[in-house]
C-alpha cells in the first residue's frame, strides 16, 4: 500500500476501495465495505438522542490522545451528558493529500479502541480527500446515536441551592494541546483529559433521582458552558473561585501567556447540577471513577430568575463571568 494519501484515495475508485478495506473496515471490524457506507439497524427503543461534532484538532496526536480518540469520546460525551446511552457512531473523514497512511491507521485504531471501550458500534463512514493545503492533516466528523432507557434523562428543572459539580480539573485538554503545538516554546507535563465519560455519568443518572443537567465544558471552557446554562434556564449560578480544581501546571502556563483556565477547553470533564441534598452522593460516585477523582463541588444555583454566572473571589467579592469574547491570544499586558 502507498505511504501517503493521494487525491485518488478519495475519488471513489480503486484506491478509495482499497483504503476503506485495508484501513477502516479492518479496524472497525465490518466484513464488507458496503456496510461502511450506509447501515440498516433495528434499535431497542424509540426514544433516541442524536448529536454531531466535527473534530479539527492540531496536532492530531497529543499527550493523552489523538483526534481519533477525541472524535469518539467527544460524541460519546455529548450523548452521555444528555443522559442517553451511546450505541452507534458514524464517522466522516476529510483527509489532506499527503497525509501519512500510518498516521491514519493509528487514528482509526484509536477510534476503534475507544469505541470498543465505550461500547459503541461504528456503523457508517465516509472518506474524502482534499488537495494539499486544503486541510490540516485530517478532520473527523462523528455523529452519535444513543438511547434513553429507564427514564434517565436529566430533568432540566432547577431550584435554589442546587449544587454545581465539576468532574475534575479544568483546562487540561486545551493547555496540553496548546503546549504540544510547540509554537509558544512552553512545555507542560500534563495529558489532555480526553476520555469517554458515559459509564460514570450514566451511573450518576442511575443512582440519583433528579439530576438537573449535565454538560461537557469543551470549547469555551467551564465559564462559557455555565453562562449558557445560566442563560438558557434563567439561573443565577455562583462559583467559588478557590474550589475550582486547576492543575498547577495549567495555572503556570496560563500565567505565562495571560490565559484564564475558566475559558480553556476540556475533553473529559462534565458539569453536573444536582439537588443540594444529593451532592455528597454524586461526589461519592464520581470519586470512584478515575475520570472523576478530582471532582469538586464548585458552586450553587442561587436564583432562578436571571440568567447570570458569578464568580466569588477569595476576598468575597463577586464578579460576573461572560462567554469567552473572541479568541484568547498570548499577551504581555
Partner 1 sequence: MQELLKQSSNPEILKPLLQAVKEKAAEFISLYGRKPAFMEVCGSHTMALAKSGVKQALREDVSLISGPGCPVCVTDQHSIDSMIALAEGDGRIICTFGDMMKVPGSRQSLMDAKINGKDIRVVYSPVDSIRIAEENPGKEVIFLGIGFETTIPILAILVEEAYKKGLGNFSIWMTTKLVEPILRHLLNCGDVMLDGFLLPGHVSIVLGEEAYSFLPEEYNIGGVISGFEPAELLSGIYKLLDIAITKDTRIINDHPSVVTKSGNVVAKQLMEKYFSLCDEAWRGIGSIPSSGLSIRREFDQFDAKKKFKVDPGEPKKTKCRCGEVIRGLINPTDCVLFGKACNPMKPVGPCMVSAEGSCAAYYQYMRECN
Partner 2 sequence: MCVGVPAKVIEKQEFSALVDVMGSRTTVGIIFVPEVEVGEYVIVHAGQAMSIIDEEYAKESVEEWRKLTDARTS
**Please, which residues have CB within 8 angstroms of residue 21's CB and are 6 or more apart in sequence?**
33
List binders of partner 1 among 170-189 (CB under 8 A): 184-186
| DSSP-assigned states of every residue in 299-318 | EEEEESSS-EEEEE-TTS-E
Per CB under 8 A, the list member of 3, 31, 133, 315 interacting with a copy of itself is: 133
Interface with Mg ion, residue 53, by CB under 5 A? yes
Q: What binding mask, one character per residue, do residues 41-80 give for partner 1 by CB under 8 A, x or -?
A: ----------------------------------------
Interface with Mg ion, residue 126, by CB under 5 A? yes
170: phi then psi, degrees, rounded to nearest 5: -105, 150
Question: CA–CA distance from 313 to each of 239, 240, 260, 261, 310 (Å)?
Answer: 9, 7, 14, 15, 10
Q: What binding mask, one character per residue, do residues 230-269 give for a copy of itself by CB under 8 A, x or -?
A: --x------------------------------x-x----
List binders of partner 2 among 184-203 (CB under 8 A): 184-190
138: phi then psi, degrees, rounded to nearest 5: -150, 140
Question: Alpha-carbon distance 147 to 51, whole Å?
Answer: 12
Residue nearer to Mg ion on the CB measure, 97 or 300: 97
In this structure, the dihedral spanned by the alpha carbons of residues 246, 249, 251 and 252, taken in order and rounded to 10 degrees, is: 170
Piece in contact with Mg ion (CB under 5 A), picked from 17-25, 69-77, 199-207, 262-270: 69-77
Interface with a copy of itself, residue 322, by CB under 8 A? yes
Interface with partner 1, residue 5, by CB under 8 A? yes
List binders of a copy of itself among 42-61 (CB under 8 A): 42-56
Q: What binding mask, one character per residue, do residues 202-241 give for partner 1 by CB under 8 A, x or -?
A: ----------------------------------------
Interface with partner 2, residue 182, by CB under 8 A? no
Cis peptide before 158 (omega within 30 of 0): no
In this structure, the dihedral spanned by the alpha carbons of residues 170, 176, 178 and 180, taken in order and rounded to 10 degrees, is: 180
Cell of 102: 500510518
**Using CB distances below 5 to 8 A depending on partner kind, what does residue 188 bind out of a copy of itself, partner 1, partner 2, none?**
partner 2
Cell of 245: 480544581
Kindly list the residues in this chain that would bind partner 2 in the complex (CB under 8 A).
Answer: 179, 184-190, 247-249, 251-253, 255-256, 258, 331-333
Amino acid at each position: 500500500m502507498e505511504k501517503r494519501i493521494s487525491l485518488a484515495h478519495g475519488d471513489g475508485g480503486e484506491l478509495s476501495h482499497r483504503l476503506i478495506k485495508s484501513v477502516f473496515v479492518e479496524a472497525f471490524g465490518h466484513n464488507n465495505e458496503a456496510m461502511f457506507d450506509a447501515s440498516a439497524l433495528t434499535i431497542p427503543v424509540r426514544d433516541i438522542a442524536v448529536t454531531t461534532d466535527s473534530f479539527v484538532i492540531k496536532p492530531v496526536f497529543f499527550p493523552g490522545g489523538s483526534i481519533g480518540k477525541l472524535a469518539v469520546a467527544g460524541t460519546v460525551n455529548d450523548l452521555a451528558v444528555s443522559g442517553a446511552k451511546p450505541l452507534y457512531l458514524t464517522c466522516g473523514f476529510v483527509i489532506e493529500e499527503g497525509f501519512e497512511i500510518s498516521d491514519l491507521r493509528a487514528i482509526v485504531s484509536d477510534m476503534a479502541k475507544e469505541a470498543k471501550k465505550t461500547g459503541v458500534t461504528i456503523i457508517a463512514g465516509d472518506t474524502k480527500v482534499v488537495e494539499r493545503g486544503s486541510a490540516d492533516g485530517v478532520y473527523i466528523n462523528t455523529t452519535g446515536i444513543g438511547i434513553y432507557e429507564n427514564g434517565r434523562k436529566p430533568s432540566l428543572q432547577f431550584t435554589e441551592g442546587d449544587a454545581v459539580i465539576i468532574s475534575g480539573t479544568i483546562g487540561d485538554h486545551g493547555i496540553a494541546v496548546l503546549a504540544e503545538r510547540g509554537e509558544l516554546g512552553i512545555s507542560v507535563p500534563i495529558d489532555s483529559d480526553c476520555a469517554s465519560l458515559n459509564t460514570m455519568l450514566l451511573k450518576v443518572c442511575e443512582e440519583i433521582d433528579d439530576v438537573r443537567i449535565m454538560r461537557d465544558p469543551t470549547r469555551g471552557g467551564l465559564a462559557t458552558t455555565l453562562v449558557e446554562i445560566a442563560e438558557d434556564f434563567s439561573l443565577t449560578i455562583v462559583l467559588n473561585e478557590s474550589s475550582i480544581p486547576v492543575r498547577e501546571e495549567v495555572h503556570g502556563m496560563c500565567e505565562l501567556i495571560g490565559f484564564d483556565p475558566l475559558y480553556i477547553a476540556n475533553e473529559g470533564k462534565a458539569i453536573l447540577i444536582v439537588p443540594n441534598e444529593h451532592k455528597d452522593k454524586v461526589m461519592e460516585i464520581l470519586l470512584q471513577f478515575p475520570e472523576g477523582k478530582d471532582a469538586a463541588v464548585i458552586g450553587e444555583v442561587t436564583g432562578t430568575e436571571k440568567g447570570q454566572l458569578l464568580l466569588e473571589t477569595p476576598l468575597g467579592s463577586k464578579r460576573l463571568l461572560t462567554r469567552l469574547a473572541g479568541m484568547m491570544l498570548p499577551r504581555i499586558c
